[in-house]
A and B are shown apart, each in its own frame.
Chain A
Amino acid sequence: MLRYILKRLLIMLVTLWIIVTLTFVLMVSIPGSPFNSERATNEAVQANLEAHYNLDEPYHIQYMLYLKSIVTFDFGPSIKQPNQTVNDLLGRGFPVSFELGMVSIIFAVISGIVLGILAALKHNGMIDYLAMTFAVLGISIPNFVLATMLIQQLAVNVEIFPVATWDSPAHMILPVIALGTTPMAIIARLTRSTMLEVLTQDYIKMARAKGLSPWKIIVKHALRNALMPVVTIMGTLLAGILTGTFVIEEIFAIPGMGQYFVESINQRDYPVIMGTTVFYSAFLIVMLFLVDIAYGILDPRIKMNSKGGD
């Protein structure tokens, strides 16, 4: 187990390094610089500014400086908002984005599993058809369309929920629904199909033959086995939620990390681009790692060693 974790950590570092390098290459290859979008500055001022942010150095030096900033986790000041450091931006934006993402994924997992179980237990019944119609809709409607529809219907036409921003639990409801519905639908469909399969297994019949209550049979014997594939796709769903937060934060004017991420690219705010990218990537990589660990805990047949674990 320990060897497996160490090996995984090493692989995670390599992955992160590749992402950092690619980001750097892409960043310097987009035309323009942080300063040429503003009103014309004279040559000397421009050169001074570039020297201040080390942009006059050759690429390999700049690259080394970036690596250094990542290792020390000090991305320096933002170019566009010079009175704030990248760490300030991350420190302010991340808790909000994290909250949005986590609440959405928890909503998606819980309601998806419950819906999937209900559909499987009432197989080919009314609840099943309703749940699966709902799931197909959830998978087909993109989150930005759903977000706008929700605002239009539930915040503008009928004023039940606030339109935007992130102040109280009531503010969370619409963004979380918009962000969590697609993963919820995917989880519901997957849970239903694996649950149907698991319920026909001999060990379920055996559990019934032991005289266990239906509740125990479902929760203890069926659900755990049915959730294996759900855990497997959790990694992909997490990535989806993460990228979804950019869009949803934009639509609901939520002060998360997404806005800095998108703006920084438009404005060529190099330190912010690097900072947010590294942060998002590191977060996702760690999450995927946790999902793999969870998989090993759920299924005792998977051995966490350096040979069989990857």
Chain B
Amino acid sequence: MEKILEVENLHVTFTTYGGTVKAVRGVDFHLHRGETLAIVGESGCGKSVTSNAIMRLIPDPPGKISAGTITFQGKDLTKAPEKEMRRIRGVDISMIFQDPMTALNPTLTIGTQLMEGLREHRNISGDEAKKRALEMLDLVGIPNPEERLKQYPHQLSGGMRQRIVIAIALICDPDLLIADEPTTALDVTIQAQILELFEKIQETTGVAIILITHDLGVVAKIADRIAVMYAGKIIEEGTKREIFYEAEHPYTQGLLKSVPRLDMQGEALTPIDGTPPDLFSPPIGCPFTARCPFAMEVCDKVYPEHSSLTETHSVDCWMQDERAKQLLAASAGTKN
């Protein structure tokens, strides 16, 4: 399959009065055409920063892409001039924001906000733009689209607004859609509807989706592959099945154990103790060491090498290192 996006060794830093925050510290991932990749992790792990970096929407200053490449359709976006980025944003790569209550401008009509991207990038008439807008509203499941175009955001419910935001993101027919926590601010019933909408959109338009979330339920529903981020690094990556059933990184395992399940009768949830490390001075070794139940001396001193378990499944953990496996096998041998 064709790779539409390849991120390599991405570093993003923020210069503040208190020092430099290393928010993203060497992230690698790729995305195929028409695929959904979920980036999961807790607050502050750098997942939103990663997505903003792809769009080059990191406020500079204080933020800066300090190293790495983002190759989108053969072009390195980290080196693209701002003018070229403007032609890519909204046209080739679109973004959906977390909170539909604040993502729409309260003083402009839905129609204006829906069509302005189209008018900016495509040389089309007002009538054609309107026709396309109505098509989009129909696609995202908004009743009475003609009437909605004249309304203002405050006249719509949260779920409706998120549909509008999705319609705005899709109106120029992008190849890549970045959804930053698209369902976090919505009611549970609406969440399910929006996720179904994503599936439907992907079927109709074949858009590739990067889904940023901390909600593993959302991931289970629509992701093809999952990348788990922790302290500015992707620590494990694999297909949905590999992450949910064969997770090897202690952090991923901890994350899965801390999610309530319907079949848990009276069992307590197992939270991950402790807090993520301070990204002003991230640890040299594995950042999860302090919270890891299996931590070894080496974990604290050296960052683990990248181990590929299958073609799709890879993990950064010393326990997956060949030498660790040999030692384990040896110790198992002596016991018997």
On A, residues with C-beta under 8 Å from B are 201-203, 205-213, 216, 220-221, 224-225, 298-301
Contacts and interface: CB of A to CB of B under 8 A. Distances in A.
A121 to B, nearest CB: 13
4 smallest beta-carbon distances between A and B, as pairs: A211-B89, A211-B90, A210-B90, A210-B117
B152 A300 contact: yes
Contacts of A205: 57, 97
A213 B152 CA distance: 23
A224 B107 contact: yes
Given A205-B97, A301-B154, A211 B91 contact: yes
B104 interface: yes
Interface in B86-116: 86-91, 94-95, 97-99, 102-109, 116
A213 B86 contact: yes
B210 interface: no
B89 A300 contact: no
A212 B116 CA distance: 8
A210 B120 contact: yes
B117 to A, nearest CB: 4
Contacts of B152: 300-301
Contacts of A299: 106-107
B30 interface: no
A47 B123 CA distance: 84
A253 B147 CA distance: 58
Given A202-B97, A301-B154, A211 B120 contact: yes
Main secondary structure of the interface of A (DSSP, over half): helix
A104 B69 CA distance: 54
A308 B94 CA distance: 38
A207 B91 CA distance: 13
A307 B89 CA distance: 43
Interface of B: 55, 57, 85-91, 94-95, 97-99, 102-109, 116-117, 120-121, 152, 154, 165, 168-169
11 contacts: A202-B97, A203-B103, A208-B89, A209-B94, A210-B89, A211-B86, A211-B91, A211-B117, A211-B120, A300-B152, A301-B152
Contacts of A207: 105
Given A210-B116, A224-B107, A298-B107, A203 B86 contact: no
Given A202-B97, A202-B99, A301-B154, A209 B57 contact: yes
Given A209-B89, A209-B94, A210-B168, A203 B117 contact: no
Contacts of A208: 57, 89
A205 B55 CA distance: 11
B102 A202 contact: yes
Contact of B103 (A206, A212, A224, A301): A206
Nearest to B88: A211
A164 B154 CA distance: 53
Given A209-B55, A210-B168, A216-B120, A203 B89 contact: no
B72 to A, nearest CB: 14
Contact of B108 (A209, A211, A213, A220): A220
A201 B102 contact: yes
A28 to B, nearest CB: 50
Given A205-B97, A216-B120, A211 B87 contact: yes
Contacts of A213: 86, 120
Contacts of A212: 86, 90, 116-117, 120
A286 B87 CA distance: 48
Contacts of B120: 210-213, 216
Given A203-B103, A211-B86, A216-B116, 8 more contacts: A202-B102, A203-B104, A205-B97, A209-B94, A210-B116, A299-B107, A300-B107, A301-B152
B103 A300 contact: no
B154 A300 contact: yes
Nearest to A227: B107
Contacts of A298: 107
A298 B106 CA distance: 10
B95 A221 contact: no
A123 to B, nearest CB: 10
A225 B105 contact: yes
Contacts of A203: 102-106
Contacts of B106: 203, 225, 299-301
A295 to B, nearest CB: 12
Contacts of B109: 300
A206 B109 CA distance: 15
A210 B118 CA distance: 9
A191 to B, nearest CB: 16
Given A211-B86, A211-B120, A206 B108 contact: no
Contacts of B154: 300-301
Nearest to B109: A300
B95 A211 contact: no
Contacts of B121: 211
A221 B108 contact: yes
A74 B97 CA distance: 63
Contact of A206 (B85, B86, B91, B104): B104
Give the one of A206, A212, A298 with max B CB within 10 A.
A206
Contacts of B169: 209
A301 B105 CA distance: 11
